[in-house]
């Protein structure tokens, strides 16, 4: 057994070395796959804060992923058509700037999570799963029936949005942006988990009564965690839309929520790097097995079953013992 | 002098069952007040109402003269009620140190910080370490709660309550499941603790109750049938009939 930090270091090294090698060898598609891993991992890291630490099994995180995607789609589609999104108090035709889009994606994801969380956190267990699923489906059908932004067909953005000082059309540069964002968020989440708030959130998952007895309200802790989680997943959605230069209601689908849960479970529930490993494995399997058979999900299912049955801590849990906590 | 904790006329009905029937009791500074009673007497229901997990149909709970009847569990804890559970309620996957630090976090206020490392915070750690030291768990600080013996978990429950520096302890059967040696240790611990804050002690272990209590209230079928010193309760024929006779 390795230390969890060692495993995390290896994962991070792999995340950077594989696309850099591909870049040197002139294999842009591999870089794109690595970018997809970084973005999906980011969404998974967001979910993991709610699910892994908070114990909130949300089957509606696609809502935040989709909101981030549409934040990008709406802002960029106006910008590319020079079609004002605002006329008063000033005229504004959206933006093609990633940092501004991210800000909107984060705020929109957080606000949606605040509303969805405030209502669904009044329930727990299977009811919580169902309520979050219902909210996710509401967003899905809303997106489908919103003709102004493509409805069922989605929205195409012709040129990837820009980042000051970088050429985002170059795959390795866009990868670097996504990987740096992922690392920044991993650092932030690790700080939150180690903070007094994180300690209390983690304890509330294990014993609500204990947390109340020391004067803390589990609902409040969970709502804050859910909002941060939604903001992170929203940011990931904006990046995902930029990767594909395309947004569609599929980002809101419950299958998307399910995939995020699969990343977390495969990699290791509550483990900082769990979603990174889970997303990497998922994208790799999708690529390799998807080339062999359209029914590659069968193999994914077998793997998921094995992990759930024999490695409750996911792949990170199977490789690493938990690190000390001081 | 005002009572630290005062329960006045608490009544709770579940359908036809009257679980608490006009219960009035007080906890004075420096004392251990034990509540005893046979199974089903309504001890747990009473404690839940005192701590805020259950709303009484009638009656009030005052802590240091302040009406806390409408406060929720967490608010009452911050108001100064340090409770322990009959069945240990601890973060089992976390370390002993993390569990006591959690108490220290709660003692700081309802909004735990998000950016400093909890386990590196000197204020939290000192407070936690002092509590562990008092209950004799300092050596086990780095162990996971799941690895602790039952007796150690009971001690940890008390340690977490101590980190809150409560104005009153409310303890639900701290001796539950402890063997002879464990009971003796816990009795000694509670005896030292009364100097810090008075203890409302709901307990089945009669040896412990008679060793510790300054006053005893006997709860039978939701009613307090007698309140008095150890000697008075021992001498009370009604109490002997209702309760003591059954468990010598």
The model's pLDDT over A180-223, given as tens digits with 9 standing for 90+, comes to: 999 999 999 999 999 999 999 999 999 999 999 999 999 999 99
Q: What angle do CA A140, A143, A146 make, to 5 degrees?
A: 150
pLDDT at position A88 is 80
- Mean local confidence (pLDDT), A68-80: 95
Does residue B192 have a pLDDT over 80?
yes
Chain A positions in Cβ-Cβ contact with residue B78 (cut-off 8 Å):
215
- Mean local confidence (pLDDT), A7-23: 96
**Among partner residues B51, B98, B114, which is closest to A197 by beta-carbon distance?**
B114
**Residue A21, H or E segment:** helix A4-24
pLDDT at position A297 is 86
CB contact under 8 A, A214 and B110: no
DSSP B111-166: S--SSS-GGG-HHHHHHHHHHHHHHT-GGGTTSBGGGS-HHHHHHHHHHHHHHT--
- Mean local confidence (pLDDT), B157-165: 96
Q: How far is the alpha carbon of A119 from chain B, nearest alpha carbon, in Å?
A: 20
Contact A128, A226 (CB under 8 A): no
Q: Report if residue A28 sits inside a domain.
A: no
Q: What share of chain B is helix, strand, coil (3-state, %, to 5)?
A: 40, 25, 35
Residues B109 and B74 in one domain: no
Residues B110 and B178 in one domain: no
Residues B183 and B228 in one domain: yes
Residues B146 and B191 in one domain: no
Helices (H) and strands (E) in chain A, counts: 13, 4
**Among partner residues B85, B107, B115, which is closest to A191 by beta-carbon distance?**
B115
- Mean local confidence (pLDDT), B129-154: 94
Question: What is the extent of the structural domain holding A130?
Answer: 2-22+33-321
Buried b (16+ CB within 10 A) or exposed e, A166-175: eebeebbebb
Number of domains in chain A: 1
Does residue A3 have a pLDDT over 70?
yes
- Mean local confidence (pLDDT), A22-47: 96
Does residue B166 have a pLDDT over 90?
yes
CATH of the domain at B205: 3.40.50.300
Residues B22 and B49 in one domain: yes
User: Rounded to whole angstroms, how far apart are CA atoms A253 and A265?
Assistant: 19
> Of all residues in chain A, what percent carry a pLDDT higher than 90?
82
Contact B78, A206 (CB under 8 A): no
Residues B128 and B180 in one domain: no
- Mean local confidence (pLDDT), B172-199: 91
Residues B64 and B176 in one domain: yes
Q: How far is the alpha carbon of A221 from chain B, nearest alpha carbon, in Å?
A: 9
Q: Report if residue A326 sits inside a domain.
A: no
Q: What is the mean pLDDT of chain A?
A: 94
**Is the peptide bond preceding residue B5 cis, with omega within 30 degrees of 0?**
no
Does residue A151 have a pLDDT over 60?
yes
**Residue A105, H or E segment:** helix A98-120
pLDDT in tens, A263-286: 999 999 999 999 999 999 999 999
Domain boundary among B165, B200, B217: B165
Q: Give the neighbor-by-neighbor strand order of the sheet with B17-27.
A: B17-27, B5-14, B58-63, B66-67
Angle between helices A297-310 and A274-292 (to 10 degrees): 140
User: Which positions ≥6 away from B64 have C-beta within 8 Å?
Assistant: B2, B4, B80, B167
Chain A positions in Cβ-Cβ contact with residue B103 (cut-off 8 Å):
214
Q: Report if residue A27 sits inside a domain.
A: no
Q: How far is the alpha carbon of B82 from chain A, nearest alpha carbon, in Å?
A: 7
Does residue B248 have a pLDDT over 70?
no
pLDDT in tens, B62-71: 999 999 999 9
- Mean local confidence (pLDDT), A38-45: 98
> Could you tell me the pLDDT band of residue A16, with boundaries at 50, 70 and 90?
very high
Chain A positions in Cβ-Cβ contact with residue B105 (cut-off 8 Å):
196, 199-200, 214, 216
Q: Report if residue A289 sits inside a domain.
A: yes
Residues B153 and B215 in one domain: no
Does residue A326 have a pLDDT over 50?
no
Rg of chain A in Å (alpha carbons): 19
Q: Strand pairing of B5-14 and B58-63?
A: antiparallel
Token couple for A217: 């309200």
Q: Report if residue A268 sits inside a domain.
A: yes
Does residue A117 have a pLDDT over 80?
yes
Number of domains in chain B: 2
Considering all CA atoms of chain A, what is the largest pairwise distance in Å, rounded to the nearest integer?
61
Q: Report if residue A101 sits inside a domain.
A: yes
pLDDT at position A2 is 85
Question: What is the extent of the structural domain holding B177?
Answer: 1-80+168-248
Task: Could you list the beta-strand ranges (E) of chain A.
Answer: 2-3, 155-156, 246-247, 320-321
Residues B62 and B116 in one domain: no
CB contact under 8 A, A202 and B94: yes
Chain B positions in Cβ-Cβ contact with residue A210 (cut-off 8 Å):
89-91, 99, 102, 160
Does residue A323 have a pLDDT over 70?
no
Identify from B54, B105, B129, B160 which residue to disrupt to test chain A contact, counting A C-beta atoms within 10 A and taking the largest count.
B105
SS3 for B207? Answer: helix
Domain boundary among B165, B194, B224: B165
CB contact under 8 A, A196 and B142: no
**Count of Cβ atoms closer than 10 Å to residue B75 Cβ:** 16
User: Rounded to whole angstroms, how far apart are CA atoms B132 and B139?
Assistant: 9
Q: What is the mean pLDDT of chain B?
A: 92
Does residue A102 have a pLDDT over 90?
yes
Q: Strand pairing of B17-27 and B5-14?
A: antiparallel
CB contact under 8 A, A199 and B101: yes
Does residue A324 have a pLDDT over 60?
no
pLDDT at position A78 is 92
Residues B188 and B119 in one domain: no
pLDDT at position A325 is 43
pLDDT at position B244 is 58
pTM of the model: 0.94
Contact A35, A252 (CB under 8 A): no
User: Which positions ≥6 away from B77 have C-beta within 8 Å?
Assistant: A212, A213, A214, A215, B83, B106, B164, B166
**Among partner residues B75, B101, B114, which is closest to A192 by beta-carbon distance?**
B114
Higher pLDDT, A69 or A321: A69
Domain boundary among B113, B138, B165: B165
Residues B106 and B121 in one domain: yes
- Mean local confidence (pLDDT), B169-193: 91
Residues B198 and B160 in one domain: no
CB contact under 8 A, A215 and B119: no
């Amino acid at each position: 057994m390795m230390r969890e930090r060692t495993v995390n270091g290896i994962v991070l090294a792999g995340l950077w070395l594989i696309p850099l090698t591909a870049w040197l060898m002139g294999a842009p598609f591999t870089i794109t796959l690595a970018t997809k891993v970084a973005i999906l991992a980011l969404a998974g890291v967001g979910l993991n804060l709610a699910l892994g630490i908070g114990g909130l099994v949300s089957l509606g995180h696609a809502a935040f992923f989709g909101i981030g995607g549409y934040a990008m789609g709406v802002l960029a589609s106006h910008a590319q058509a020079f079609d004002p999104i605002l006329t008063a108090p000033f005229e504004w035709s959206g933006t093609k700037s990633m940092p501004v889009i991210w800000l909107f994606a984060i705020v929109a994801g957080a606000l949606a999570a605040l509303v969805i969380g405030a209502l669904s956190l009044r329930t727990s267990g299977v009811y919580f799963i169902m309520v979050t699923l219902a909210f996710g489906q509401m967003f899905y059908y809303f997106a489908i029936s919103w003709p102004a932004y493509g409805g069922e067909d989605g929205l195409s953005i012709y040129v990837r949005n820009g980042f000051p000082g970088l050429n985002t059309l170059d795959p390795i540069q866009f990868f670097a942006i996504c990987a740096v964002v992922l690392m920044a968020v991993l650092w932030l989440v690790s700080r939150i988990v180690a903070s007094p708030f994180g300690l209390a959130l983690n304890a509330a998952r294990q014993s609500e009564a204990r947390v109340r007895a020391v004067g803390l309200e589990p609902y409040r802790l969970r709502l804050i965690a859910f909002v941060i989680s939604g903001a992170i997943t929203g940011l990931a959605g904006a990046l995902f839309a930029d990767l594909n230069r395309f947004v569609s209601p599929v980002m809101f689908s419950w299958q998307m929520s399910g995939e995020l849960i699969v990343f977390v479970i495969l990699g290791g529930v509550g483990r900082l790097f769990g979603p990174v490993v889970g997303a990497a494995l998922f994208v790799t399997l999708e690529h390799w097995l998807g080339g062999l058979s359209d029914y590659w999900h069968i193999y994914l299912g077998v793997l998921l079953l094995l992990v759930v049955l024999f490695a409750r801590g996911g792949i990170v849990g199977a490789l690493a013992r938990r690190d000390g906590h001081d | 002098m005002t009572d630290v904790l005062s329960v006045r006329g608490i009544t709770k009905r579940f359908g036809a069952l009257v679980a608490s029937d006009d219960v009035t009791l007080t906890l004075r500074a420096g004392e251990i007040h034990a509540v005893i009673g046979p199974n089903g007497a309504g001890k747990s229901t009473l404690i839940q109402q005192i701590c805020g997990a259950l709303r009484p149909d009638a009656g009030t709970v005052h802590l240091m003269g302040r009406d806390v009847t409408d406060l929720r569990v967490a608010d009452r804890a911050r108001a100064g009620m340090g409770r322990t559970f009959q069945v240990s309620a601890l973060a089992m996957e976390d370390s002993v140190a993390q569990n006591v630090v959690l108490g220290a976090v709660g003692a700081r206020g309802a909004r735990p910080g998000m950016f400093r490392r909890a386990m590196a915070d000197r204020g939290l750690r000192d407070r936690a370490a002092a509590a562990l030291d008092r209950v004799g768990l300092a050596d086990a600080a780095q162990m996971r709660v799941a690895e602790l013996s039952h007796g150690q978990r009971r001690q940890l429950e008390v340690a977490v309550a101590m980190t809150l520096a409560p104005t009153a302890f409310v303890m639900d059967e701290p001796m539950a499941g402890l063997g002879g040696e464990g009971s003796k240790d816990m009795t000694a611990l509670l005896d030292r603790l009364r100097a810090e804050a008075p203890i409302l002690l709901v307990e089945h272990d009669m040896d412990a109750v008679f060793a510790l209590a300054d006053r005893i209230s006997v709860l039978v079928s939701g009613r307090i049938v007698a309140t008095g010193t150890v000697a008075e309760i021992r001498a009370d024929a009604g109490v002997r009939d209702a309760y003591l006779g059954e468990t010598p």
